[in-house]
Amino acid sequence: MRKKNSSALQPLGDDQLNYWIIDAIQDIKGKNIIKIDLRGLNDSPTDYFIICEGDSSTQVKAISDNIGRKLRDKMGISPNHTEGMDGAKWILVDYFDTVVHVFYPETRAFYEIEELWGDAKFTQYENI
């Protein structure tokens, strides 16, 4: 069960989860952040994908680590599953309702995940 943040200024539920994930990505200067809302599609594997990239495998790993740290601190939750930490070219962080994909740019271009879900609603976030 997820812990709710007691602050009235923070969004709740999935909005809160996604807010802190995106905030954690921006902390480490992750780039080309996109949230894909899959709730309106049949047979989607989750409610949301959040996709971003880092300029190096070190940055990709740092983004993933920061997401885990921030969600533990802010919401008291840990990911259900994480994979790809060894090569750090594509790290997947699974929070059930939201799955985060942290890519190395060439790996992101190769797999084109955004193209697979073209019918979904996309929200793009600024690079900081």
Question: Residue 82 belongs to a domain with what CATH number?
Answer: 3.30.460.10
* 4 occurs within a structural domain: no
The DSSP line for 39-100 is: TTSTT-SSSEEEEEE-SSHHHHHHHHHHHHHHHHHHHS---SEEE-TTT-SEEEEE-SSEEE
- Domains held by the chain: number: 1
* 78 occurs within a structural domain: yes
pLDDT value of residue 119? 92
* 6 occurs within a structural domain: no
| Structure tokens given for 71 | 């969600």
* 35 occurs within a structural domain: yes
- The string of pLDDT tens digits covering residues 67-126 is 999 999 999 999 999 999 888 899 999 999 999 999 999 999 999 999 999 999 999 998
In this structure, what are the phi and psi dihedrals at residue 37, rounded to the nearest 5 degrees? -90, 110
Mean pLDDT of the chain: 90
pLDDT value of residue 5? 37
Per-residue confidence band for 12, with pLDDT thresholds at 50, 70 and 90: low
* 109 occurs within a structural domain: yes
* 72 occurs within a structural domain: yes
Q: Computed from CA positions of residues 67, 64, 24, 121, in that sequence, does the dihedral angle turn out positive or negative?
A: negative
* 3 occurs within a structural domain: no
- The string of pLDDT tens digits covering residues 23-68 is 999 999 999 999 999 999 988 999 999 999 999 999 999 999 999 9
| Structure tokens given for 111 | 């797999």
Half-sphere exposure of 122 (CA within 13 A, CB side): 14
* 1 occurs within a structural domain: no
pLDDT value of residue 87? 86
Burial classification of residue 42, based on how many CB atoms lie within 10 Å of its CB (0-12 exposed, 13-18 middle, 19 or more buried): exposed
Share of the chain above pLDDT 90, in %: 81
Task: Quote the pTM value.
Answer: 0.87
Residue 6 has pLDDT above 50, yes or no: no
Domain of 108?
Answer: 13-125
pLDDT value of residue 46? 95
- Helix (H/G/I), strand (E/B), else coil: 110: helix
